[in-house]
Structure 1
Amino acid sequence: MSAEETIDARPLTSRTRPAGLSRLFAALCRQLAFGSLLVRLPGDRADLYRGRFAGPAGEIVIARPLRLLLRLLTRGDIGFAESYMEGDWETPDLPGLLDVLQLNEEHLGAGPKGLRWSRRLDRLTHRLRDNRPGMSRRNIARHYDLGNDFYRLWLDPGLTYSAALFADRERESLETAQVRKYARLLDDLDARPGQHLLEIGCGWGGLAEAAARRGLRVTGVTLSREQLDYAQARIAAAGLSDRVELRLQDYRDIRGQFDHCVSIEMLEAVGEAYWPTYFQALRRLVRPGGRISLQVITMNEDDFLRYRRSADFIQLYIFPGGMLPSPERLRAQADAAGLTPLQERWYGADYAETLRRWRRAFHDQSSAVAALGYDARFRRMWDYYLAYCEVGFDSGVTDLLQAVFEVPGPEAAGRRLSAALPQTDESAATKSASTTVPAGCKLTGLTGFRRIDRICRHADDGNRVPLRSC
């Protein structure tokens, strides 16, 4: 599937490269199918591996090959991430390298997956941190209570930690795109001034402020003390405290009924075991005829079936207790709770751009992050996290869904939002297009439509066949 060639390279260290390690890395890299991978090992040479099909180019500079290899053999892809955190390898373009590896995921499938006991231990760790009452607050605190000063360094001025909605990804500011996202979610509710809005997962108060400025009464809940303190001060400074009440409260403990509800990228933190509880809470808390506007990160169903059987880097190091739904699982949960679907929109490409902006700002503020007391391992972990997520959205493995539901009632009978509402995500057009893939490509696991489209754009015309023929 791939050809190997050796090229001259500037010496990276004074140590001699062990021939045995070189052969082991070569055995892994020869499975490359798409694009190219330049592997620089200690010594005075580098190996360039070219896949059979055109694709992106990646480069990895390995400083401690034995440590990287041991982590790969014992920990698989988790070990690869941990090796980056520990400084075992570098790269001039982390998203570019991860892009090559993800695009070749099926073809590198025979590579190291980690020892069985290691994978089982990771799964056990993830399960022990499920979001039962009490544990959910600890899970949220581990991520969101890192400190408002930390997030203020690299988020937009409004401290919005969710995907933006861009009209122009090249020229528009992140802050403007975040304001547009809030407006779109609120517009979908068709709410009137004076109505009572519930926000589950209110973050630093951006949407609550936007809703209150429209004349809505807002109740917002969060499990992060840091977020709550900032959001309450923000609302007070805006002179909106008479319209907004923010609480440190679990969604399971909310009582009463509201006209509408918004929840932005909250479902991902709930955990699969509690998805029914979450959707039943939405149904219980919103009056008949009221609307629910959700923004959710999703994973395509084929990848989800593998993902749910393991624990990934994000679950182990970034969002303990988290779980992404597939669109099919989300729809099934909403249907089981008796919610009526009104509209779906997809914005995965906008999330990729949001993450690029965050990662660029994070790099620009690296010294300031260090000054807050966060060491190099932490900073590299977050660098990997942001790049990992960016590539996920660029490739189509993950996507971003804005979905609107209605609680059935006399006022809601037979109503639907217009199916002709504008689609702003390229994936909508891609999904309906006549897509082709390189001949001989393994389609299993390549079900993200943007991922297939990227393969097609890189492939030579002579190697392309209609998707329907595969």
Structure 2
Amino acid sequence: MDAATSHPSPVPGRARLVAPLWHRLLDRIDRGMLSGAIEAQLPDGTRRLIGGHAPGPVAVVRLVRWRALWRLVTAGSIGWYEGWMAGDWISPDPVPIFDLFVRNRTGLGNVARAKHVARWAVWLGHRLRRNDRSGARRNIAAHYDLGNDFYREWLDRTLTYSSALHVADGTALEVAQQRKLDAILTRTAAMPGQSILEIGCGWGSFAATAAAAGVTVHGLTLSTEQRDHVLARGLDGVTVSLTDYRDVSGQYDAVASIEMVEAVGPEYWPAYLATIARVLKPGGRAALQFITIAEDIWDAYNGSADFIQRYVFPGGSLLSASRFRALAEAQGLAWRDEQRFGLDYAETLLEWRRRFDRAVSEGRLPARFDARFQQLWRYYLMYCEGGFRGGGIDVMQVTLVKAG
């Protein structure tokens, strides 16, 4: 598409006055778009190619109102979401937009991050949701206690709510999820008759995998919905309790924790890792899977709050791998066999969205979740997928080994 216009549609006088200001902002975005492009239709009727300087994803966006850009530059990802919900911008596929803004984060700088009053307001709101013992339970309930009848309609049959492994090669989601669970069990090196503490047991898919191998599992969760589901499964050798990780006692041959530490928060990473070091027997191994954010944007991310923290997962925080590793090693836990597989998460999210869309179209979601909630969750799945495709976030497995 050419940057020139065809036949601009009439716009109100005030809009014509402010349009040059927004075009200058688009010039700034164009300079920072080092790869990929946005084919934009603007409120003044013009069509413009933003970027296109090097190969990359191509997003198609229609800015219905200039207000969309105002929301973006003042409130970042939160404002961009609110603009989408308000109809200020539309796209046939928003995933490439999220990909591009992450992929080009160095060139774009802070153009799409919350600023000034908005930044401090969202940061303060996020801090008020900190994960002390009472706050952690509230935050977990807000996300995971939406109901088993909600999650079962779009997760795979095991209700595994974390990235599958090697799903990007076209493997069926259920198979790739089991591959992930098997990989975590292998990392623990647990043998039949030994014990595993699972910190954040979800709906029990890993516990079932370990129990089938003759390993006993004590699962921790703060979600009553998850606890009830695991109990209802009646798995031999599996117990589950509503217990904060800070309050667990006893010792175990191994620890497993799959995408739970994102609900801990940087302030409490030392306590989380201290718990692992305390409960592991000498020579024991902890198998972890967690989501990281690129080191070059960690400080900006940690100093504010994004769309997910505001609207989807209160109290949540992605990890800085380098900072988390340093804390683990300070607890005497050796960092071993790191594996990253972010594109697998992108494919997992895409499959979840397809299943979610089918559930919506077939009217299978519980009636208490209205159209606005459905839009929020669809946006959430697309937002995350774009982040993984753009490389700003990643997922990894790692084994932590306690000295013998």
For 1:426-455, what per-residue CA distance to the aligned partner results, in whole angstroms no more than 9, with x for missing partners? xxxxxxxxxxxxxxxxxxxxxxxxxxxxxx
Q: Which of 10, 24, 29 in structure 2 is aligned with 1:27?
A: 24
| Residue 232 (str. 1) matches residue 231 (str. 2) | yes
Q: Counterpart of 1:133?
A: 133
| Residue 48 (str. 1) matches residue 49 (str. 2) | yes
Note the C-alpha offset of 1:86.
Answer: 2.9
Note the C-alpha offset of 1:88.
Answer: 2.4
Distance 1:196 1:370, change over 3 A: closer
Note the C-alpha offset of 1:321.
Answer: 1.2
| Residue 306 (str. 1) matches residue 305 (str. 2) | no
Distance 1:50 1:115, change over 3 A: closer
Q: Counterpart of 1:383?
A: 378
For 1:234-279, what per-residue CA distance to the aligned partner results, in whole angstroms no more than 9, with x for missing partners? 2x1xxx34x1101111111111111111000111110111111000
Aligned residue identity for 1:35: G
Compare relative contact order (CA 8 Å, sep 6+) and give the higher one, 1 or 2. Answer: 2
Gaps of 5+ in 2: none
Conservation of the 8 A alpha-carbon contact between 1:4 and 1:30:
no
Q: Counterpart of 2:256?
A: 262
Q: Counterpart of 1:160?
A: 160
Note the C-alpha offset of 1:103.
Answer: 2.8
Alignment of 1:37-116 (within 5 A): 37-42=38-43, 45-63=46-64, 65-109=65-109, 111=111, 113-116=113-116
- Inter-partner Cα distance in structure 1 for 2:389 and 2:171: 19
- Inter-partner Cα distance in structure 2 for 1:120 and 1:216: 47
- Inter-partner Cα distance in structure 2 for 1:225 and 1:73: 39
Aligned residue identity for 2:301: Y
What is the aligned-residue identity percentage? 44
Conservation of the 8 A alpha-carbon contact between 1:4 and 1:50:
no
Distance 1:136 1:172, change over 3 A: same
- SS at the partner of 1:298? strand
Conservation of the 8 A alpha-carbon contact between 1:139 and 1:320:
yes
Note the C-alpha offset of 1:54.
Answer: 3.2
Aligned residue identity for 1:127: R
- Inter-partner Cα distance in structure 1 for 2:156 and 2:69: 39
Q: Name the count of aligned residue pairs.
A: 398
Conservation of the 8 A alpha-carbon contact between 2:153 and 2:365:
no
Q: Counterpart of 1:182?
A: 181
Aligned residue identity for 1:23: P
Conservation of the 8 A alpha-carbon contact between 2:73 and 2:114:
yes
Distance 1:287 1:362, change over 3 A: same
Note the C-alpha offset of 1:329.
Answer: 1.0
Note the C-alpha offset of 1:375.
Answer: 2.5
Conservation of the 8 A alpha-carbon contact between 1:4 and 1:49:
no
Note the C-alpha offset of 1:369.
Answer: 6.1
For 1:311-358, what per-residue CA distance to the aligned partner results, in whole angstroms no more than 9, with x for missing partners? 111211122112222221121111111112232111112111111111
For 1:147-193, what per-residue CA distance to the aligned partner results, in whole angstroms no more than 9, with x for missing partners? 11111111111110001012x63431100000111111111222111
Note the C-alpha offset of 1:114.
Answer: 4.4
- Tell me the C-alpha RMSD between the 2 structures: 2.3
Aligned residue identity for 2:4: T
- Inter-partner Cα distance in structure 1 for 2:268 and 2:57: 39
Alignment of 1:329-344 (within 5 A): 329-344=323-338
TM-score by length of 2: 0.92
Q: Deviation above 4 Å: which 4+ runs of structure 1?
A: 14-17, 42-45, 112-115
